Structure 1
Amino acid sequence: MAAMNDLSSAMALSGDRPPRQRKPDWIRVRAPVGQGYQSTRALMRELSLNTVCEEAACPNIGECWEKKHATVMILGDVCTRACAFCNVKTGMPRPVDPLEPEHVAAAAARLGLQHIVVTSVDRDDLPDGGAGQFVRVIKALRRSTPATTIEILTPDFRNKMRAAVEMICQAGPDVYNHNLETVPRLYPTIRPGARYYASLRLLEEVKAHDPLIFTKSGIMLGLGEERLEVHQVMDDMRCADVDFITMGQYLQPTPKHARVADFVTPAAFDAYASIARAKGFLQVAASPLTRSSYHAGADFEVMRQRRAQALDRAAKVIA
């Protein structure tokens, strides 16, 4: 079976491609048309901000933007990597916008966000990998909307990881997210510019710098991974003390990207979620439409409450 999945992954990136699978009913969403969506889109344009919602063709954009929840993508809209699953443009990025941090803070204030998610493209061209811009955004948000909790979703900061993580952790985000994306066997074809164990080390580094920062990571399903491989990723995350795991269905953004090997059923996602909870994650989000920032604010509150309850129980045991 593993050999067949390896073959499927190779075919997904070659010219010898099988017909595209038809999306099942459970993966379909309505086109965005509401007033909330339109006003959120207009604000992003006004402030010259990019969003991963648009650039990554997120299926939940209509629902989230209708509620005025947008995931800002800093450091431009051009990535220095070319992952087989990602719809973000690849090439030579433009210079970093010095006004971007204040624009992100202005967007959070005008949208009335209680929780904001900030991500970025990979910027291997920058000496710090873009970590400094994350710090500037966090500081701008703390000045402008101090009550807003901040979740960041960073790249792996290749060859700059330790210094970048230390810099960002000192700025004090509430949640540090870095996605593993897939099982290690599929990295050469799906995420060739990254290394699985380097990403795990990044998550470990966050906890080493500040154990109180919630850590989060996610994987896509439907790329040809095996069930036991997914279980192993869960174990690896728990060994790195990751608090929150997200699991969602991979969707092929364009014909040039990796093909969907299979559509994982909602029942299978529920089974993965049950196993993840048994392994000790504080929070689990697993469904076909789950994405890293989907319902992130509500999930953060659940994590915060569960940690408080766990600390309270521990204090009672010690007493």
Structure 2
Amino acid sequence: MSSRRRKPDWLKMRPPSGRRFTEIKSVLRDRDLHTVCEEANCPNLGECWSGGSGPGDGPGTATFMLLGDRCSRGCNFCDVETGGMEPLDPDEPANVADAVAEIGLDYVVLTSVDRDDLADGGSRHFAETIRAIKRRDPSILVEVLIPDFGGDPDAIDRIIDADPDVIAHNVETVERLQWPVRDRRAGYQQTLDVLERIDRSSDIRTKTSVMLGLGEYDHEVYRTLRDLRGVGVDIVTLGQYLQPSRSHLDVFEYVHPDAFDTWARVAEEELGFLYCASGPMVRSSYKAGEFFVEALVRDGASVEEAREAAQAAD
């Protein structure tokens, strides 16, 4: 690996701090829960957990990571630990629902590690967590970011049947760069197939995420967005890849914010995505995207009104 590139000024981030950050961390620790925010060293952790600072600001948010804190796959962009798989915690669905209530969230994001060691990929456990949250408070919006479950249609259908409000599955990068970016058990076409099955089998909103700065060409990004829209994806996020450590893939380039703005316009105005969150610090779970979904699903807003709500929150 080569030496790290110096980050430009637009990638400066706020360190985690504040009373709300401490409260959320305490709730998670008390219930032995994991978040992708911490495990993957998300650059927005401080902003999301701390919430807003003014009257009417939200309570903060966290993306719960299910099925343990160790992944059966080894993607070269991800900082989650790999191997040493442990049994599932049968109390996790209830503990997550309790934590959501104690933190006071009305929009919950669930994701998970890959569990190729389990016959169902952990899909039953994932689905039960969705149901546990909804049983406690049906008004809570639940977004899930799922693995591909090895392309198993039964596992995907279990998630659909649990009736979350948004199902996301990330393509991560353009087709040419799937390897070495992703584990070889993942794949471009498999991701498209998962997203298409969700779109064809339900009315649930679908979402995916693409990282830039890995050496992709503009025409490859365009084709990826076109392919994603072609299988019915509603919402897409684009963000800058950041190297978690020297043992991970190098950053090929830091993409300028103006380029991200251009991709947002292309996605929404030309390709027809309902919403595109695009910027250097955007991640798959991103607060502006949550405001868009809340306005669209909970408030019954039009797409344009929901976009305005997301822009106001960004």
Q: Higher Cα Rg: structure 1 or 2?
A: 1
Asked whether 1:144 is paired with 2:136, we answer yes
Asked whether 1:61 is paired with 2:45, we answer yes
1:27 to 7, 11, 14: 11
Quote the residue 2:281 is aligned against.
289
Equivalent position SS for 1:45: helix
**For residues 106 and 112 of structure 1, what CA distance do their matches in structure 2 show?**
10
Shift of 1:207: 1.3
Quote the residue 1:5 is aligned against.
none
Quote the residue 1:265 is aligned against.
256
Asked whether 1:82 is paired with 2:74, we answer yes
Asked whether 1:157 is paired with 2:141, we answer no
Letter in 2 for 1:260: V
Letter in 1 for 2:220: E
Find runs of 4+ consecutive structure 1 residues off by over 2 angstroms: 301-310
Q: Is the 8 A contact 1:105 1:145 kept in 2?
A: no
Asked whether 1:227 is paired with 2:218, we answer yes
**For residues 248 and 299 of structure 1, what CA distance do their matches in structure 2 show?**
17
**For residues 306 and 280 of structure 1, what CA distance do their matches in structure 2 show?**
22
Q: Is the 8 A contact 2:151 2:190 kept in 1?
A: no
Equivalent position SS for 2:150: coil
Moved more, 140-149 or 70-79: 140-149
TM-score (norm. length: structure 1): 0.89
Output one character per residue of 1:136-174: Cα deviation in whole Å (capped at 9) or x when no partner. Answer: 0011001112110000000011152x1111111111010
Shift of 1:308: 5.9
Shift of 1:303: 4.0
Q: Is the 8 A contact 2:156 2:194 kept in 1?
A: yes
Letter in 1 for 2:189: Y
2:177 to 179, 183, 186: 186
Quote the residue 2:293 is aligned against.
300
1:121 to 105, 113, 123: 113
**For residues 140 and 291 of structure 1, what CA distance do their matches in structure 2 show?**
26
Name the % identity. 45
Runs of 5+ in structure 1 lacking a partner?
1-16, 311-319
Output one character per residue of 1:206-244: Cα deviation in whole Å (capped at 9) or x when no partner. Answer: 11211x200000010000000110000110011111000
2:21 to 37, 43, 63: 37
Equivalent position SS for 1:123: coil
Q: Is the 8 A contact 1:283 1:303 kept in 2?
A: no
Which structure 2 residues correspond to residues 240-279 of structure 1 after superposition, within 5 A?
A: 240-278=231-269, 279=271
TM-score (norm. length: structure 2): 0.90
Quote the residue 1:101 is aligned against.
93
Letter in 2 for 1:298: F
**For residues 130 and 53 of structure 1, what CA distance do their matches in structure 2 show?**
20
Asked whether 1:49 is paired with 2:33, we answer yes
**For residues 60 and 116 of structure 1, what CA distance do their matches in structure 2 show?**
16
Quote the residue 2:55 is aligned against.
none
Q: Is the 8 A contact 1:282 1:303 kept in 2?
A: no
For these two proteins, the number of residue pairs brought into alignment is 292
Q: Is the 8 A contact 1:282 1:307 kept in 2?
A: no
Output one character per residue of 1:235-278: Cα deviation in whole Å (capped at 9) or x when no partner. Answer: 00111110000000000001100010000010010011110012
Equivalent position SS for 2:149: coil
Shift of 1:302: 4.2
